[in-house]
Structure 1
Amino acid sequence: MIKYKIINKINPQDVNAVQKFYAIKQAQETLTLRDFGRRISRESTVSMMDTMAVLEGLLQIIPDELINGKIIKLGDFGTFRTTLATEGTLTEEAFTVANIKKLNIRFRPDREFVNKLAGVEYSKVS
């Protein structure tokens, strides 16, 4: 369940516009890698130590492979990929690596993941 509260906000693109009310999501709980390890271990036949070893391995491999330009598809969860933020040049010859300003990481959830989120329930908090 997603908890939210209502706040009155100014439109940053038009500070003279009438303020409107918007829902903002409330932070609920942060889950750690260890929390995931415990849950996976409870719901499977794999020990906590083995589960944590695999999760830690995944955390080591994903950044390495993204840096190598690979796309990482994690089953029905989704796909991680990288994109470049660059400054444009007038000609191809004028473009150098200095025009590349940043490597961005993008996540695209898989259809099954998106479908699961479609059934979310909301609860207003005071």
Structure 2
Amino acid sequence: MSVKYSVVMRKNPSRITEPGKYYAHAQAYGDLDFDSLCEDVNSRCTVTRADLAAVIESVLDSMKQALAKGQIVRLGNFGSFQIGLSSKGAEKEDEYNSSFIRGTRIAFRPGKLLINMQKTLSYSQVAKLPVKAKATTTPGTGV
């Protein structure tokens, strides 16, 4: 199997007057939902689909609780998850308080399993996906 990509032109936002360059853009083909993941894993082992679903849901609940406490969640060779913050700056340290925090994100750092998988990927070029048409309305009519 290979990673599908198309070639797209992009401009450098800091050099908007310069001509754009062409870059690879990964194209996703489908997805693997929770039920399909459980079925796939079930076909490879003796654990039932229902047991798999229960274990995965429990792991996700534990991860959510640990992240909310500020812990790093390490999933062995798969990778780790950690909360990151976005905030405004204060002029002085003693002026800073939690109201400066704008939001959070969850940072994922891949482990050896995924890093090694990336080293073995192959690539195949495909046509660009069609651009979705934007809905247009006639002013004053809402149509």
Could you state the TM-score of these two structures normalised by the residue count of structure 2? 0.82
Q: Residue 99 of structure 1 corresponds to which residue in structure 2?
A: 100
Describe the superposition over 1:54-110 as per-residue Cα deviations: whole angstroms up to 9, x where unpaired.
111122221121011111001110000112212221222211110111122100011
* Amino acid in the other structure paired with 1:76: N
Q: How does 1:29-48 map to 2 (within 5 A)?
A: 29-48=30-49
Asked if 1:115 corresponds to 2:127, the answer is no
Task: Choose 116-125 or 52-61, whichever is displaced more.
Answer: 52-61
* Amino acid in the other structure paired with 2:18: A
Larger Rg computed on CA atoms? 2
Could you state the TM-score of these two structures normalised by the residue count of structure 1? 0.92
Task: Choose 23-32 or 5-14, whichever is displaced more.
Answer: 5-14
Q: Displacement of 1:8 after TM fit?
A: 2.2
With over 3 angstroms needed to count, the CA separation of the structure-2 counterparts of 1:21 and 1:44, relative to structure 1, is same
Q: Residue 65 of structure 2 corresponds to which residue in structure 1?
A: 64
* Root mean square deviation, CA, Å: 1.3
Q: What percentage of aligned pairs have identical amino acids?
A: 29
SS of the equivalent of 2:93 reads: coil
Unaligned runs of 5+ in 1: none
Cα distance in 1 between the residues matched to 2:33 and 2:88: 37
Cα distance in 1 between the residues matched to 2:16 and 2:89: 32
Asked if 1:17 corresponds to 2:18, the answer is yes
Cα distance in 2 between the residues matched to 1:34 and 1:53: 11
Asked if 1:51 corresponds to 2:52, the answer is yes
* Amino acid in the other structure paired with 2:96: F
Q: Residue 125 of structure 1 corresponds to which residue in structure 2?
A: 126
Cα distance in 1 between the residues matched to 2:26 and 2:4: 6
Unaligned runs of 5+ in 2: 128-143
